[in-house]
Structure 1
Amino acid sequence: MIDRYKLRDFQMPGRSVAFGVGGMAATSHPAATLAAVDMLRAGGNAVDAAIAAVAVQCVVEPAMTGIGGDCFALLAPASGGVIALNGSGRAPAAASVDRLLAAGEADKGRSPSHLVTAPGATRIGPYSPHAVTVPGAVAAWEKLILAHGTKSLGEVLQPAIACAEQGFVVTPRVAFDWSASADVLRHVPAAEAAYLPGGKAPSVGRVMTFPTLGNTLRAIAAGGAKAFYEGEIAAAMVATLSEAGGLHSLEDFGGFEPEFVDPIKSSYRDVQVYECPPNGQGVVALLLMNILEGYDLSALAPMSPERLHIVAEATKLAFRDRDRFLADPAFAKVPVESLLSKQYASKLRDLIDPDLARPAPPPLLDPHPDTVYLTVVDKDLNAVSFINSVYSAFGSGIMCAKTGVLFHNRGMSFRLEEDHPNRIEGGKRPMHTIIPAMAFKGGEAWMSYGVMGGNYQPVGHANVLSNVVDHGLNLQLAIDAPRFMSYPGDLEIERGVPPATRNGLQLRGHRLAEASSPLGGGQAIIIDRRRGVLMGASDSRKDGFALGY
């Protein structure tokens, strides 16, 4: 086994783990990492730096995230423990299965924002106003910074305001995502005008500005979250959604409140892993880790067909349970304790044939790898694990011209079946895919990490942790390792999966499919308390980097 702290092979392409002693930030965009480190060096703590960074990303990575989206966070204060924040929005009070089905029948065939795609369909369309729940991110940022930050919301928003008003350079991965999803923006004239200059996605190296979004960020900086959820900005957003056929009201926006919640946890070997509770899918990540813990993965090569088969089969079982049970616990009973019992994981392991692939469960959600994740650790060893998203690329594509806010489409995750726990109801939060993670050793925060990529995220959490704990990979190698995903449908694999592994998987009955784009991204920071060093890594699948000082 290799030393997990060893340097990479310098004759091979790749990047080194970042090191620091005064603070560390890891994000998927250079401007965001710089904003976080600047905030730390100016005396801010990890919370201040994380919100500064994510606000920048809401400007410079518009396909992945925005202030019209949601967020979740885990904070491990230096004083101990873990604090979880649920910043996901709720459905309009007027929403119901019957009302949306009726609206879908009326909309059918008239525009790409139709609610359902076929008679009897149980899903909300990606460009539907009914896919827009109240955006939760801005209120969650304010709640977190007031409770645990040292700067004001106005101070930490300044780098994002500068990017929106003075301009930012379109980086290669951002340009790739922008171009791949340009058609989403053509459904709404305001979005097309703002995001497709000259009718097409901006190329690498182009400088872009979003002055209207900058004005909205300035209003939030001056008036706090209230300026977003009440008054002129809220009225403009509600009017835009209403014109598109939505059921949103000013009361839905003004009454929104994010929540501090108790995190959930489970053990993996000698590591305690914390996740946000439902309505997020952190419980799926922990269930998957519980299943994998029963195998001696350290005896298998990280990219061996035996290991990939085990992870793929465990994934199918974990996602079967996700799609059966996961919902807003305020509206439905989610059996978290039962799902996380080691005995239950043992029963699921008994269903895995080491030599034969089982059919994947029917897909209930399309893959939506459109999210940003970041992590920050400050000089006092406060650690923040933070994720922000508009769900699918550019969300719903619905943009409020007066505010520059592009709305997410997280409500796509709701079901339109009365007997399903995740059915849409007024004031309910949909099942969420975005999940931050925090790992402890010996009762102290050890690794703050997360992996983007919609459905892939629980698998990414398990794989990165296993790569470090079971296989001794350094943090950058653990994140960069080739990825694979067995839900939904065929076993999707990245190009880096070796030919011998592919053959071994096919012999076990897996149908392989080449990934059309990278499977997510990821960032992580390890706190090495023995040496007094921070080690950071940022996924080479994205433009960003980890930076310590």
Structure 2
Amino acid sequence: MTRGPVIGTATMVVSPHYLASAAGARILEKGGNAYDAAVAVSATLAVVYPHMTGLGGDAFWLTYSAGEGRVRAYNGSGRSGYAVRRDCYAGEGAIPRRGVRSAITVPGMADSWEAVQREYGRLTLAEVLEPAIGYSAGGFPLSPDQHGGSLLAGAALTPEAAAVYLPGGRIPAAGARFVQRQLAGTLRTLAAGGRDAFYKGSIAEEISEYMLASGGYLTRDDFADHHGSWVEPLSTDYHGYTVYQVPPNSQGFTALMALNILEHYDFADIAHGSYEYYHLLVEALKLSFRDRDRVLTDPDFSSIPLEHLLGKPYAAELAAMISPRQASVINSEPVGRDTAYAAVVDGEGNAVSFIQSLYFEFGSGVVAGDTGILLQNRGSFFSLDPAHINRLEPHKRTFHTLMPAMACREGKPAYLYGTQGGEGQPQTQTLLLTRMLHYGMDPQTAVNEPRFVWGRTWGDPTQELRVENRVEATVRAELAEAGHLVREAGSYDGIVGHAHAISVDDNGYRSGGTDPRCDGAAIGW
């Protein structure tokens, strides 16, 4: 199942679907830059990977401008509706995970496309949306991953959604031509009218009217008042690199905390793939998750002590808590894992690392009216407990798992990396970076190597450490002896997510790696 790295002298595109990677490459060949290409990749993923991402979801971006010499972040996540309150769910133990009443946050992705391209792109929005429009109107070969997602979540689709994704009442076969004509019309409207067509025009009107008629809560005002945000990224220094993440409401700071802890260990004395390697990473991440779950929410609603959490003295305290032979006991809530990460580097040195999602497979399962847009169910992660840090309140962003990463060396991008996988995102990111930085692996090798994911999934009573069976049996036994609740996963198990990465070496060559667990491709030249 493994493959070798793709190496380009000037450009590189990685994504979880080959057609999306090709769309980015087409835009680069047309004269667009990394930002134009990234938006084209994002939009195409919204069409060809509709079970993972779409116009009804959110996106987070890290951008590096060679001209400016700086990294910036764009938070493209939506807020809950003005009328959405905890008493909307009186007598219920939780917000429904599916259905129209789970779709309570405004989709932020369309806004982020225009924001990123307007700030740095060369082409028009209409030009970069051409590949996505073409694939939605003319169809594309349905991916094995979408087929599998339909088997898993097809029963959660509303009749309007099922009419699109289960045509004729059947799950389409992998390789079948899949057409989304309603979505093509919506994309054309967006291409012609820009983000205002989505948030203040006919698209917002169609969605909000559907919500009103169906018992949902989002209104025209919720869409009209939406805005994403350019924000300063968070960073930490790690072995000569500056590692960047999007700030809260993203969980990105969790990965920075883990790196600060790992800085207290000498990886030259730790064999890759050994018990010591896996145990150390798992324990560092668990300590970071413990603090994340205490504080992560919309920072407009609650102060988050990031200076303390990302401080080197605090990392030293946490590192001292790790026992070399005993797993810690830390609880964490299950989170959705269905996401799409991608990255682009162009010939000028501009770089974009981004990630987008509907939260669960097919999000809420709701297609809004005749728009063809699947609405996300990200808001279902809000808590109805009034004392919870992530409690539901009007016009609020929820705790968000999405977290693209970028590591710079001497002020320029060296690694762009990320993954699908909710709770698994900081875990796999830490695996990728340590493999590339400490063990000299190229991105494809780092992605190919066995992975783990710790945490609880929906319905599971325990916090398990799922470890791919390619990890040596003796290592898995040692982890179990230390108290980890080890469960053997398949050799290339989808439970660990779909990871992708780009590295830029001292010669300026771009090396790309995509996950063998998905339908992706790395394209560079």
Q: TM-score, normalising length from structure 1?
A: 0.91
Query: Aligned AA for 2:427?
Result: V
Is the CA contact 2:424–2:454 (under 8 Å) kept in the aligned structure 1?
no
- Matched residue of 1:390: which SS? strand
Is the CA contact 1:132–1:396 (under 8 Å) kept in the aligned structure 2?
no
Query: Aligned AA for 1:520?
Result: G
2:369 matches 1:381: no
Is the CA contact 1:360–1:486 (under 8 Å) kept in the aligned structure 2?
no
1:106-157, Cα deviation, whole Å (9 max, x unpaired): xxxxxxxxxx4xxxx3555343524430000001111111111111111111
Shift of 1:358: 1.8
Query: Aligned AA for 2:468?
Result: E
Q: Distance in 2 between matches of 1:326 and 1:466?
A: 25
Partner of 1:170: 142
1:468-494, Cα deviation, whole Å (9 max, x unpaired): 111222211111221112223111122
Partner of 2:460: none
Q: Distance in 2 between matches of 1:538 and 1:14?
A: 10
Is the CA contact 2:442–2:503 (under 8 Å) kept in the aligned structure 1?
no
Partner of 1:5: none
Q: Distance in 1 between matches of 2:406 and 2:474?
A: 34
Is the CA contact 1:450–1:523 (under 8 Å) kept in the aligned structure 2?
yes
Is the CA contact 2:56–2:109 (under 8 Å) kept in the aligned structure 1?
yes
Partner of 1:57: 45
Q: Distance in 2 between matches of 1:352 and 1:491?
A: 17
* Structure 2 CA distance for partners of 1:311 and 1:482, relative to 1, 3 Å: same
| Structure 2 residues without counterparts, runs of 5 or longer | 457-462
Shift of 1:360: 2.9
**1:335-484 correspondence runs (5 A):** 335-361=305-331, 363-366=332-335, 368-484=336-452
Shift of 1:365: 2.9
Q: Distance in 2 between matches of 1:490 and 1:457?
A: 16
Out of 12, 15, 18, which is 1:24 matched to?
12
Q: Distance in 1 between matches of 2:6 and 2:46?
A: 24
Shift of 1:202: 1.5
Q: Distance in 1 between matches of 2:203 and 2:420?
A: 30
Q: Distance in 2 between matches of 1:413 and 1:299?
A: 41
Percent identity at matched positions?
40
Partner of 1:4: none
| Structure 1 residues without counterparts, runs of 5 or longer | 1-12, 106-115
Q: Distance in 2 between matches of 1:135 and 1:459?
A: 26
Query: Aligned AA for 2:248?
Result: P
Is the CA contact 2:89–2:95 (under 8 Å) kept in the aligned structure 1?
no
Partner of 1:517: 494
* Structure 2 CA distance for partners of 1:338 and 1:240, relative to 1, 3 Å: same
After TM superposition, the structure 1 stretch with the greater mean CA deviation from structure 2, 232-241 or 453-462, is 232-241
After TM superposition, the structure 1 stretch with the greater mean CA deviation from structure 2, 58-67 or 509-518, is 509-518
* Structure 2 CA distance for partners of 1:402 and 1:128, relative to 1, 3 Å: closer
Partner of 1:212: 182
Is the CA contact 1:74–1:436 (under 8 Å) kept in the aligned structure 2?
yes
Query: Aligned AA for 1:201?
Result: I
After TM superposition, the structure 1 stretch with the greater mean CA deviation from structure 2, 512-521 or 440-449, is 512-521
Shift of 1:159: 0.3
After TM superposition, the structure 1 stretch with the greater mean CA deviation from structure 2, 278-287 or 408-417, is 408-417
Query: Aligned AA for 1:147?
Result: E
* Structure 2 CA distance for partners of 1:478 and 1:400, relative to 1, 3 Å: same
Q: Distance in 2 between matches of 1:301 and 1:176?
A: 36
Q: Distance in 2 between matches of 1:542 and 1:301?
A: 28
Q: Distance in 1 between matches of 2:267 and 2:293?
A: 27
- Matched residue of 2:496: which SS? coil
- Matched residue of 1:162: which SS? helix
1:507-527, Cα deviation, whole Å (9 max, x unpaired): 111111234733111211112
Out of 30, 40, 46, which is 1:42 matched to?
30
Shift of 1:199: 1.9
Q: Distance in 1 between matches of 2:201 and 2:232?
A: 32
Partner of 1:193: 163
After TM superposition, the structure 1 stretch with the greater mean CA deviation from structure 2, 243-252 or 256-265, is 243-252
1:15-61, Cα deviation, whole Å (9 max, x unpaired): 11111123110111010010000100110000000110111110111
Shift of 1:198: 2.7
1:166-185, Cα deviation, whole Å (9 max, x unpaired): 01001223322232222222
How many residues end up aligned between the 2 structures? 515
Query: Aligned AA for 2:288?
Result: A
2:77 matches 1:88: yes
2:282 matches 1:312: yes
Query: Aligned AA for 1:352?
Result: I
- Matched residue of 2:242: which SS? strand
Q: Distance in 2 between matches of 1:215 and 1:254?
A: 21
- Matched residue of 1:35: which SS? helix
Aligned-residue Cα RMSD (Å) equals 1.5
Q: Distance in 2 between matches of 1:406 and 1:521?
A: 21
Q: Distance in 2 between matches of 1:167 and 1:101?
A: 39
**1:230-249 correspondence runs (5 A):** 230-249=200-219
Q: Distance in 2 between matches of 1:92 and 1:496?
A: 46
Q: Distance in 2 between matches of 1:531 and 1:135?
A: 40
Q: Distance in 2 between matches of 1:125 and 1:62?
A: 18
2:266 matches 1:296: yes
Out of 526, 542, 545, which is 2:503 matched to?
526
Q: Distance in 2 between matches of 1:19 and 1:471?
A: 19
2:113 matches 1:141: yes
Q: Distance in 2 between matches of 1:420 and 1:430?
A: 12
- Matched residue of 1:425: which SS? coil
- Matched residue of 2:273: which SS? coil
Shift of 1:246: 2.1
Shift of 1:229: 1.2
Q: Distance in 1 between matches of 2:371 and 2:152?
A: 25
Q: Distance in 2 between matches of 1:42 and 1:369?
A: 34
Partner of 1:535: 511
Is the CA contact 1:132–1:407 (under 8 Å) kept in the aligned structure 2?
no
- Matched residue of 2:355: which SS? strand
Q: Distance in 1 between matches of 2:475 and 2:100?
A: 41
Is the CA contact 2:424–2:496 (under 8 Å) kept in the aligned structure 1?
yes
Is the CA contact 2:47–2:135 (under 8 Å) kept in the aligned structure 1?
yes
Query: Aligned AA for 2:11?
Result: G
Is the CA contact 1:49–1:156 (under 8 Å) kept in the aligned structure 2?
yes
1:498-539, Cα deviation, whole Å (9 max, x unpaired): 2111111111111112347331112111122x3231111111
1:268-292, Cα deviation, whole Å (9 max, x unpaired): 2111100000000011110111112
